[in-house]
Structure 1
Amino acid sequence: MNISGNTILITGGGSGIGRALAEALHAKGNKVIISGRREPLLDEVTAANPGMVSLLVNLQDKGDIAAFAKQAVEHFPALNVVVNNAGIMKDEDLPGKGDLDIAEETVVTNLLGPIRLTAALLPHLLKQPQATVMTVSSGLAFVPLAVTPTYSATKAAIHSWSMSLRHQLKGTATQVVELVPPYVQTELRGPEQAVDPVAMPLADFIAEVMTILETQPETREVIVERCKPLRFAAENGNLAGVFAMVNAQH
């Protein structure tokens, strides 16, 4: 992925990793469009970053995704990068309440949302001289956090789906890049996560991600150093140990 000169659509761009990545890419001279459901947050980001624009979308509604994709292409015909960042992460009590509503909402948002949006944009992206589909999985795709089973499962599915999409797009000018975050200081699981000293500072994460993208433009997976113990736990023969460590406090 070239780090500048793109027109980039980022879902979940109103906060957390999405906002920070949008601002970093905006600073590199890209045209950045952020999207989400919370208009006040989007307005706050665009006001702080002149030239950045926003579009509303509900990624839980397949009809809205189709209309949103059409609108994005019509308004921004140079669109050549989509970053599937939006997602939710909620605890589930499987032997207790079951939390089936949480599971279904998580699958629709974290898995079907990126699949539907990518499918809607892919015909356009394939017409571009160079294009990128970026998916955002998680270190928990490789070593699950047991209290968030469906979140972890959707991220594992995104990893698998990204591999398959990449294989099907080989020979085209559309690249598939998977961003694999560790535990980062955002509000994904609530305000306490944003100040948790165990989590990686958001600014540090984004800085390392941007360095990887800039120095390794052909990379398939963007994995910061802090996430490598999770990403390669199975390959290193340490899956059980890392799983125990990740779930020790839960």
Structure 2
Amino acid sequence: MKISGNTIFIPGSTSGIGLALAVELNARGNTVIVGGRRTELLDRIAAEHPGIDTVRIDTADAASIESAAKEVLARHPDLNVLVTMAGIMRVEDWHSPESFLASAESVITTNVLGPIRLIAAFIEHLQTRPDATVVTVSSGLAFTPLKVTPSYNASKAAIHMLSESIRLQLADTTVKIVELEPPSVRTSLLPGQENSEHAMPLDEFVAEAVELLRTQPDAKEIQVERVKFLRYGEARGDYNQVVETLNASDPHGR
């Protein structure tokens, strides 16, 4: 993926990693469209960052995705990058269904069906662009589980394998698939995570991730150094120790 000269849609980016990434990519010479559910946040982003366009979208709602995609493409027919950023994380207790079922369904709808529906809404258009990219967003927890967030872990593992699979299918097109794999980052994904000493500062994560995009334009996975502990435990042969360390050190980390 080239680092400038793109037109980029980032749904689910009114805060956290998505917004920070949108601001940084806009500063590097890209046209950026931020998508989110809350119009007051979109209005504030538009006022604070005049170079960034905004579109209302609820990535848990198939009809909203379809409507937003039409609006984005009508306003930005040169769109060539989609970042499927939207995601939620819930603490769950799987001892009884009333403690986890509703949460699990919500997480899977947002974190798995959302990206699938987004890709479906844009993939035909992206194949018409000479240099297009879909950036999926998984997590270090796709590779090492955090005990308290089973559905989130599973959703991000699904995104990893989805990315691997559609990359193979789309090899005969102009569309590249790049998987962004964050570690725990100081955002409000879980209560208290924005102040967690175990989480990576947001500005440091975005700076390192964007630099990797710049220096590794053909990378399939974007991995900051902090995530490699979780990403490669099985390959290193210390998976059990990584699982133990993760779950002992940070009940709210990723």
Name the TM-score class by shorter chain. Answer: over 0.9
Shift of 1:46: 2.1
Q: In structure 2, give the amino acid aligned to 1:140.
A: L
Q: Which residue of 2 aligns with 1:139?
A: 140
- Give the 3-state SS of the residue equivalent to 2:99 in structure 1: coil
List alignment gaps of at least 5 residues for structure 2: none
* 1:73 correspondence with 2:58: no
SS in 1 for 2:95: coil
Indicate conservation of the 8 Å contact 2:185/2:199, yes or no: yes
Point out where structure 1 has 5 or more consecutive residues left out of the alignment: none
Report the AA paired with residue 120 of structure 2. Answer: A
Paired letter, 1:102: S
Partner of residue 39, structure 1: 39
Q: Residue in 1 aligned with 2:2?
A: 2
**Cα offset, 1:166, TM superposition:** 0.5
For residues 216 and 56 of structure 1, the distance between their equivalents in structure 2, rounded to whole angstroms, comes to 32
Residue pairs, 1:11-160, within 5 angstroms: 11-96=11-96, 97-160=98-161
Secondary structure of the 1:93 match is coil
In 2, Cα distance between equivalents of 1:198 and 1:146: 16
Determine the C-alpha separation between the residues in 2 that align with 1:51 and 1:111.
30
Q: May I ask how many residue pairs the two structures share in their alignment? A: 249
Determine if contact 2:12/2:59 at 8 Å carries over to the other structure: no
Distance in structure 2 (CA, Å) of the matches to 1:58 and 1:214: 30
| Deviation, structure 1 residue 98 | 3.2
Counterpart of 1:212? 212
Partner of residue 170, structure 1 = 171
Shift of 1:63: 1.5
The one-letter amino acid paired with 2:190 is R
* In 2: Cα distance, 1:48 partner to 1:243 partner: 41
Q: Distance in 1 between matches of 2:145 and 2:35?
A: 28
Q: Please, what is the CA RMSD of the aligned residues? A: 1.0
Amino acid aligned to 1:222: I
TM-score (norm 2): 0.96
Q: Counterpart amino acid of 1:158?
A: I
CA distance in structure 1 between the aligned counterparts of 2:46 and 2:226, rounded to whole angstroms: 30
Identity of counterpart residues, as a percentage? 49
- TM-superposed deviation, 1:171: 2.5
- Asked if structure 1 preserves the Cα contact closer than 8 Å seen for 2:209 and 2:224, the reply is yes
CA contact (8 A) 1:13 1:42 kept: no
- The amino acid across from 1:163 in the alignment is E
1:174 maps to amino acid: V
CA deviation digits over 1:91-143, x for unaligned, max 9?
A: 00110443201000000000000000101100000000110000000000000
| Structure-2 separation of matches of 1:240 and 1:39 | 44
CA deviation digits over 1:33-75, x for unaligned, max 9?
Answer: 0001111222222222111011011111112111211221111
